[in-house]
Chain A
Amino acid sequence: MELNDEQLERYSRHIILKDLGVEGQIKILESKVLIIGAGGLGAPAALYLSAAGIGTIGIVDFDRVDLSNLQRQIIHSTNDIGRLKVDSAKNKMLAINPDIQVKTYNLLVNSSNIRSIIRDYDFIIDGTDNFAAKFLINDACFLEKKPYSHGGILRFEGQSMTILPGESACYRCIFKTPPPRDAVPTCSQAGVLGAIAGMLGTIQAAEAIKYCTGAGELLVNQLLVFDAKTMNFRKVKLNKNKNCGLCGENPSIVRLMDEDPPVCELKK
Protein backbone atom coordinates (compact mmCIF):
# COMPACT_ATOMS: atom_id res chain seq x y z
CA MET A 1 0.00 0.00 0.00
CA GLU A 2 1.14 3.54 -0.78
CA LEU A 3 -0.35 6.77 0.42
CA ASN A 4 -1.70 9.18 -2.18
CA ASP A 5 -1.25 12.96 -1.94
CA GLU A 6 -4.57 13.50 -0.25
CA GLN A 7 -3.81 10.85 2.35
CA LEU A 8 -0.35 12.31 2.96
CA GLU A 9 -2.00 15.62 3.74
CA ARG A 10 -4.98 14.26 5.67
CA TYR A 11 -2.81 12.16 7.94
CA SER A 12 0.20 14.48 8.05
CA ARG A 13 0.00 15.03 11.82
CA HIS A 14 0.19 11.28 12.33
CA ILE A 15 2.90 10.83 9.76
CA ILE A 16 5.24 13.34 11.41
CA LEU A 17 4.98 11.44 14.67
CA LYS A 18 8.21 9.54 15.13
CA ASP A 19 6.38 6.51 16.51
CA LEU A 20 3.96 6.30 13.58
CA GLY A 21 5.34 7.69 10.34
CA VAL A 22 4.05 6.60 6.92
CA GLU A 23 4.45 3.00 7.97
CA GLY A 24 2.27 3.48 11.04
CA GLN A 25 -0.39 5.30 9.05
CA ILE A 26 -0.48 2.47 6.53
CA LYS A 27 -0.98 0.01 9.41
CA ILE A 28 -3.89 2.15 10.61
CA LEU A 29 -5.43 2.18 7.13
CA GLU A 30 -5.12 -1.59 6.94
CA SER A 31 -6.62 -2.22 10.39
CA LYS A 32 -10.11 -3.36 11.32
CA VAL A 33 -11.63 -2.24 14.60
CA LEU A 34 -15.05 -3.19 15.98
CA ILE A 35 -16.88 -0.87 18.36
CA ILE A 36 -19.61 -2.52 20.39
CA GLY A 37 -22.08 0.15 21.47
CA ALA A 38 -22.63 3.46 19.66
CA GLY A 39 -23.27 5.27 22.93
CA GLY A 40 -21.27 7.34 25.39
CA LEU A 41 -17.96 5.55 24.84
CA GLY A 42 -18.50 4.29 21.33
CA ALA A 43 -19.43 7.72 19.97
CA PRO A 44 -16.12 9.51 20.63
CA ALA A 45 -14.14 6.35 19.88
CA ALA A 46 -15.86 6.01 16.49
CA LEU A 47 -15.24 9.65 15.59
CA TYR A 48 -11.53 9.53 16.43
CA LEU A 49 -10.93 6.15 14.83
CA SER A 50 -12.64 7.38 11.66
CA ALA A 51 -10.57 10.54 11.64
CA ALA A 52 -7.43 8.47 12.19
CA GLY A 53 -8.23 6.43 9.10
CA ILE A 54 -8.82 2.97 10.57
CA GLY A 55 -9.57 1.18 7.31
CA THR A 56 -12.59 -0.80 8.42
CA ILE A 57 -14.69 0.11 11.42
CA GLY A 58 -17.57 -2.05 12.55
CA ILE A 59 -20.19 -0.56 14.80
CA VAL A 60 -22.75 -2.56 16.76
CA ASP A 61 -25.87 -1.18 18.40
CA PHE A 62 -29.49 -2.30 18.57
CA ASP A 63 -30.94 1.00 19.72
CA ARG A 64 -32.32 4.22 18.29
CA VAL A 65 -31.18 7.74 19.14
CA ASP A 66 -33.08 9.21 22.06
CA LEU A 67 -33.14 12.81 23.29
CA SER A 68 -31.52 11.80 26.59
CA ASN A 69 -28.55 10.31 24.70
CA LEU A 70 -27.42 13.63 23.26
CA GLN A 71 -25.89 14.92 26.52
CA ARG A 72 -22.89 12.64 25.89
CA GLN A 73 -23.25 10.55 22.72
CA ILE A 74 -21.64 13.16 20.52
CA ILE A 75 -21.79 11.22 17.28
CA HIS A 76 -25.57 11.76 17.19
CA SER A 77 -27.32 15.07 16.54
CA THR A 78 -30.71 16.44 17.49
CA ASN A 79 -32.11 15.71 14.05
CA ASP A 80 -31.05 12.05 14.41
CA ILE A 81 -33.58 11.39 17.19
CA GLY A 82 -35.49 8.23 16.31
CA ARG A 83 -32.89 6.99 13.81
CA LEU A 84 -30.96 3.78 14.30
CA LYS A 85 -27.78 4.62 16.18
CA VAL A 86 -25.65 2.62 13.76
CA ASP A 87 -27.00 4.59 10.77
CA SER A 88 -26.57 7.92 12.49
CA ALA A 89 -23.02 6.95 13.50
CA LYS A 90 -22.10 5.74 10.04
CA ASN A 91 -23.14 9.08 8.49
CA LYS A 92 -20.90 11.11 10.76
CA MET A 93 -17.99 8.73 10.41
CA LEU A 94 -18.06 8.86 6.62
CA ALA A 95 -18.56 12.63 6.70
CA ILE A 96 -15.32 12.96 8.65
CA ASN A 97 -13.46 10.49 6.51
CA PRO A 98 -14.79 9.02 3.27
CA ASP A 99 -11.52 7.08 3.06
CA ILE A 100 -12.79 4.38 5.45
CA GLN A 101 -15.31 1.55 5.35
CA VAL A 102 -18.02 1.41 7.99
CA LYS A 103 -19.92 -1.80 8.64
CA THR A 104 -23.05 -1.58 10.75
CA TYR A 105 -24.61 -4.28 12.90
CA ASN A 106 -28.07 -3.31 14.10
CA LEU A 107 -28.34 -5.93 16.80
CA LEU A 108 -27.71 -6.81 20.39
CA VAL A 109 -24.67 -9.03 20.86
CA ASN A 110 -25.41 -12.35 22.48
CA SER A 111 -23.68 -15.66 23.05
CA SER A 112 -24.70 -17.03 19.67
CA ASN A 113 -23.77 -14.11 17.39
CA ILE A 114 -20.80 -12.39 18.99
CA ARG A 115 -18.00 -14.77 18.02
CA SER A 116 -18.72 -14.60 14.31
CA ILE A 117 -18.94 -10.79 14.45
CA ILE A 118 -15.65 -10.16 16.26
CA ARG A 119 -13.79 -12.76 14.20
CA ASP A 120 -13.35 -10.31 11.29
CA TYR A 121 -11.63 -7.62 13.37
CA ASP A 122 -8.15 -6.94 14.76
CA PHE A 123 -9.21 -5.07 17.88
CA ILE A 124 -12.49 -4.65 19.76
CA ILE A 125 -13.72 -1.69 21.80
CA ASP A 126 -16.21 -2.42 24.55
CA GLY A 127 -18.47 0.60 24.67
CA THR A 128 -21.39 -1.19 26.28
CA ASP A 129 -23.30 -0.04 29.29
CA ASN A 130 -24.08 -3.21 31.17
CA PHE A 131 -22.29 -6.05 32.89
CA ALA A 132 -23.90 -8.88 30.95
CA ALA A 133 -22.42 -7.47 27.74
CA LYS A 134 -19.07 -6.69 29.35
CA PHE A 135 -18.59 -10.27 30.52
CA LEU A 136 -19.82 -11.62 27.20
CA ILE A 137 -17.33 -9.46 25.27
CA ASN A 138 -14.50 -10.47 27.57
CA ASP A 139 -15.25 -14.16 27.18
CA ALA A 140 -15.81 -13.98 23.43
CA CYS A 141 -12.57 -12.04 22.89
CA PHE A 142 -10.70 -14.63 24.91
CA LEU A 143 -12.19 -17.54 22.97
CA GLU A 144 -11.51 -15.80 19.62
CA LYS A 145 -8.11 -14.51 20.82
CA LYS A 146 -9.00 -10.90 20.06
CA PRO A 147 -7.43 -8.01 21.95
CA TYR A 148 -9.89 -5.50 23.33
CA SER A 149 -10.33 -2.39 25.40
CA HIS A 150 -12.61 -2.40 28.43
CA GLY A 151 -14.23 0.85 29.46
CA GLY A 152 -16.65 1.78 32.19
CA ILE A 153 -17.99 5.08 33.47
CA LEU A 154 -20.17 6.08 36.39
CA ARG A 155 -20.99 9.52 37.72
CA PHE A 156 -17.66 11.39 37.62
CA GLU A 157 -15.46 8.34 37.34
CA GLY A 158 -14.08 6.14 34.62
CA GLN A 159 -11.94 3.04 34.24
CA SER A 160 -10.21 1.33 31.35
CA MET A 161 -7.97 -1.63 30.71
CA THR A 162 -6.64 -3.28 27.58
CA ILE A 163 -6.76 -7.05 27.43
CA LEU A 164 -4.51 -9.27 25.36
CA PRO A 165 -6.30 -12.59 25.74
CA GLY A 166 -4.24 -15.30 27.36
CA GLU A 167 -1.34 -12.89 27.89
CA SER A 168 -2.64 -10.23 30.23
CA ALA A 169 -5.21 -10.01 33.00
CA CYS A 170 -8.78 -10.24 31.71
CA TYR A 171 -11.97 -8.63 33.00
CA ARG A 172 -12.90 -11.85 34.79
CA CYS A 173 -9.47 -12.03 36.45
CA ILE A 174 -10.60 -8.97 38.37
CA PHE A 175 -14.37 -9.05 38.50
CA LYS A 176 -15.12 -12.81 38.25
CA THR A 177 -18.90 -12.56 37.77
CA PRO A 178 -21.41 -9.75 37.27
CA PRO A 179 -22.41 -8.02 40.50
CA PRO A 180 -25.75 -9.00 42.07
CA ARG A 181 -28.53 -7.36 40.10
CA ASP A 182 -30.03 -5.48 43.01
CA ALA A 183 -26.64 -3.94 43.83
CA VAL A 184 -26.28 -2.26 40.45
CA PRO A 185 -27.42 1.34 40.34
CA THR A 186 -29.48 1.93 37.22
CA CYS A 187 -28.10 4.36 34.65
CA SER A 188 -30.82 6.89 35.25
CA GLN A 189 -30.36 6.75 39.04
CA ALA A 190 -26.60 7.02 39.01
CA GLY A 191 -26.07 9.52 36.22
CA VAL A 192 -22.87 10.35 34.42
CA LEU A 193 -21.03 13.51 33.46
CA GLY A 194 -21.12 13.63 29.67
CA ALA A 195 -17.51 14.72 29.28
CA ILE A 196 -16.34 11.61 31.17
CA ALA A 197 -17.63 9.50 28.31
CA GLY A 198 -15.46 11.53 25.95
CA MET A 199 -12.41 11.18 28.19
CA LEU A 200 -12.76 7.44 28.30
CA GLY A 201 -13.87 6.78 24.74
CA THR A 202 -10.84 8.65 23.43
CA ILE A 203 -8.55 6.64 25.73
CA GLN A 204 -10.03 3.51 24.18
CA ALA A 205 -9.50 4.89 20.67
CA ALA A 206 -5.87 5.66 21.52
CA GLU A 207 -5.36 2.09 22.75
CA ALA A 208 -6.81 0.72 19.52
CA ILE A 209 -4.43 2.84 17.45
CA LYS A 210 -1.48 1.87 19.64
CA TYR A 211 -2.35 -1.77 19.19
CA CYS A 212 -2.71 -1.45 15.42
CA THR A 213 0.58 0.39 15.00
CA GLY A 214 2.63 -1.14 17.81
CA ALA A 215 3.39 2.35 19.15
CA GLY A 216 3.92 2.78 22.88
CA GLU A 217 2.87 0.44 25.65
CA LEU A 218 -0.66 -0.86 26.02
CA LEU A 219 -2.70 -0.45 29.18
CA VAL A 220 -2.36 -4.12 30.09
CA ASN A 221 -2.24 -5.67 33.55
CA GLN A 222 -3.35 -2.37 34.98
CA LEU A 223 -6.66 -0.68 35.36
CA LEU A 224 -6.61 3.03 34.71
CA VAL A 225 -9.06 4.69 37.08
CA PHE A 226 -9.84 8.37 37.17
CA ASP A 227 -12.06 10.68 39.09
CA ALA A 228 -12.96 13.86 37.25
CA LYS A 229 -13.93 15.56 40.50
CA THR A 230 -10.28 15.69 41.52
CA MET A 231 -8.74 14.82 38.13
CA ASN A 232 -6.80 12.08 39.84
CA PHE A 233 -5.63 9.43 37.40
CA ARG A 234 -4.22 6.21 38.84
CA LYS A 235 -3.15 2.89 37.45
CA VAL A 236 -4.00 -0.08 39.64
CA LYS A 237 -1.69 -2.97 39.00
CA LEU A 238 -3.68 -6.16 38.42
CA ASN A 239 -2.00 -9.35 37.45
CA LYS A 240 -3.50 -12.31 35.71
CA ASN A 241 -5.45 -14.34 38.25
CA LYS A 242 -4.51 -18.02 38.22
CA ASN A 243 -7.97 -18.79 39.63
CA CYS A 244 -9.72 -16.92 36.81
CA GLY A 245 -12.66 -18.98 35.54
CA LEU A 246 -11.81 -18.03 31.98
CA CYS A 247 -8.05 -17.61 31.54
CA GLY A 248 -6.80 -19.25 34.75
CA GLU A 249 -5.20 -22.64 35.31
CA ASN A 250 -8.44 -24.59 35.61
CA PRO A 251 -10.98 -22.71 33.53
CA SER A 252 -14.65 -23.45 34.13
CA ILE A 253 -15.86 -21.27 31.25
CA VAL A 254 -15.23 -23.00 27.96
CA ARG A 255 -18.16 -21.70 25.99
CA LEU A 256 -20.25 -18.53 25.96
CA MET A 257 -23.37 -18.00 27.97
CA ASP A 258 -25.79 -15.13 28.35
CA GLU A 259 -25.90 -13.48 31.75
CA ASP A 260 -29.09 -12.01 33.14
CA PRO A 261 -30.42 -9.19 31.00
CA PRO A 262 -29.20 -5.91 32.39
CA VAL A 263 -31.32 -3.54 34.37
CA CYS A 264 -30.47 -0.50 32.24
CA GLU A 265 -31.69 -2.04 29.07
CA LEU A 266 -35.25 -2.25 30.34
CA LYS A 267 -35.37 1.48 30.81
CA LYS A 268 -37.81 2.41 28.09
Chain B
Amino acid sequence: MKVTVNGKEQELQSEKISILKLMNQSQVKMPDMVIVQLNGEFVEKKDYEISFLKEGDELEFVYFMGGGGI
Protein backbone atom coordinates (compact mmCIF):
# COMPACT_ATOMS: atom_id res chain seq x y z
CA MET B 1 0.00 0.00 0.00
CA LYS B 2 1.34 3.39 -0.96
CA VAL B 3 0.84 6.47 1.19
CA THR B 4 2.46 9.90 1.12
CA VAL B 5 4.11 11.08 4.32
CA ASN B 6 5.31 14.68 4.43
CA GLY B 7 5.38 14.83 0.66
CA LYS B 8 7.32 11.59 0.22
CA GLU B 9 5.67 8.47 -1.14
CA GLN B 10 6.15 5.41 1.03
CA GLU B 11 5.37 1.76 0.47
CA LEU B 12 3.86 0.20 3.60
CA GLN B 13 4.18 -3.53 4.09
CA SER B 14 1.18 -4.19 6.26
CA GLU B 15 -2.36 -3.70 4.95
CA LYS B 16 -3.83 -2.54 8.23
CA ILE B 17 -1.83 0.17 9.88
CA SER B 18 -2.96 2.93 12.22
CA ILE B 19 -1.50 6.42 12.42
CA LEU B 20 -0.09 5.53 15.83
CA LYS B 21 1.67 2.46 14.48
CA LEU B 22 3.09 4.40 11.57
CA MET B 23 4.35 7.07 13.97
CA ASN B 24 6.08 4.41 16.01
CA GLN B 25 7.58 2.82 12.91
CA SER B 26 8.77 6.01 11.27
CA GLN B 27 11.09 8.61 12.67
CA VAL B 28 8.54 10.43 14.83
CA LYS B 29 10.68 10.62 17.93
CA MET B 30 8.49 12.94 19.99
CA PRO B 31 4.79 12.22 19.35
CA ASP B 32 3.80 15.00 21.75
CA MET B 33 5.54 17.51 19.50
CA VAL B 34 3.65 16.51 16.38
CA ILE B 35 0.31 17.47 14.89
CA VAL B 36 -1.18 15.06 12.38
CA GLN B 37 -3.12 15.96 9.28
CA LEU B 38 -4.67 13.17 7.19
CA ASN B 39 -5.81 14.17 3.70
CA GLY B 40 -6.05 17.78 4.80
CA GLU B 41 -8.02 17.13 8.01
CA PHE B 42 -6.57 17.38 11.50
CA VAL B 43 -6.64 14.11 13.45
CA GLU B 44 -7.20 14.22 17.21
CA LYS B 45 -4.54 12.56 19.34
CA LYS B 46 -7.08 10.11 20.78
CA ASP B 47 -7.88 8.93 17.26
CA TYR B 48 -4.32 8.04 16.21
CA GLU B 49 -4.83 4.45 17.30
CA ILE B 50 -8.16 3.98 15.52
CA SER B 51 -7.40 5.86 12.29
CA PHE B 52 -6.26 3.35 9.71
CA LEU B 53 -4.49 4.32 6.54
CA LYS B 54 -5.66 3.40 3.08
CA GLU B 55 -4.03 3.42 -0.34
CA GLY B 56 -3.21 6.91 -1.55
CA ASP B 57 -3.62 8.66 1.81
CA GLU B 58 -1.65 11.82 2.37
CA LEU B 59 -0.29 12.26 5.85
CA GLU B 60 1.47 15.27 7.31
CA PHE B 61 3.40 15.27 10.55
CA VAL B 62 3.70 18.93 11.51
CA TYR B 63 6.22 19.65 14.24
CA PHE B 64 6.06 22.24 16.97
CA MET B 65 9.04 24.54 16.57
CA GLY B 66 9.63 26.99 19.34
CA GLY B 67 13.14 28.32 18.96
CA GLY B 68 14.09 31.70 17.64
CA GLY B 69 14.82 34.08 20.45
CA ILE B 70 17.32 33.29 23.20
Question: Chain A residues in contact with chain B, CB under 8 A?
Answer: 37, 39-42, 61, 63, 69, 126-131, 133-134, 151-154, 157-159, 174-176, 179-180, 183-185, 187, 190, 192, 197, 200, 223, 225, 234, 236-239, 241, 243, 262, 264-265, 267
Contacts and interface: CB of A to CB of B under 8 A. Distances in A.
A37 to B, nearest CB: 4
B30 interface: yes
A130 B69 contact: yes
Contact of A184 (B7, B33, B40, B70): B33
Nearest to A38: B69
A267 B69 CA distance: 13
A129 B68 CA distance: 4
B1 to A, nearest CB: 22
Interface in B42-58: 42
Nearest to A265: B70
Contact of B69 (A41, A154, A159, A236): A41
Given A39-B68, A129-B67, A180 B32 contact: yes
Contacts of B66: 129-131, 134, 152, 154, 184, 262, 264
Name the 10 nearest CB pairs between A and B, nearest first. Answer: A152-B65, A129-B69, A39-B69, A183-B32, A41-B68, A37-B69, A153-B67, A154-B65, A129-B70, A129-B68
B68 A127 contact: yes
Contacts of A225: 62-63
Interface residues on B, range: 10 to 19
A32 B64 CA distance: 29
B33 A152 contact: no
Interface of B: 6-7, 30, 32-33, 35, 37, 40, 42, 60, 62-70
Contact of B37 (A131, A179, A238): A238
Given A127-B69, A128-B68, A154-B66, A183 B6 contact: no
Given A180-B32, A238-B37, A239-B40, A157 B65 contact: yes
Contacts of A185: 30
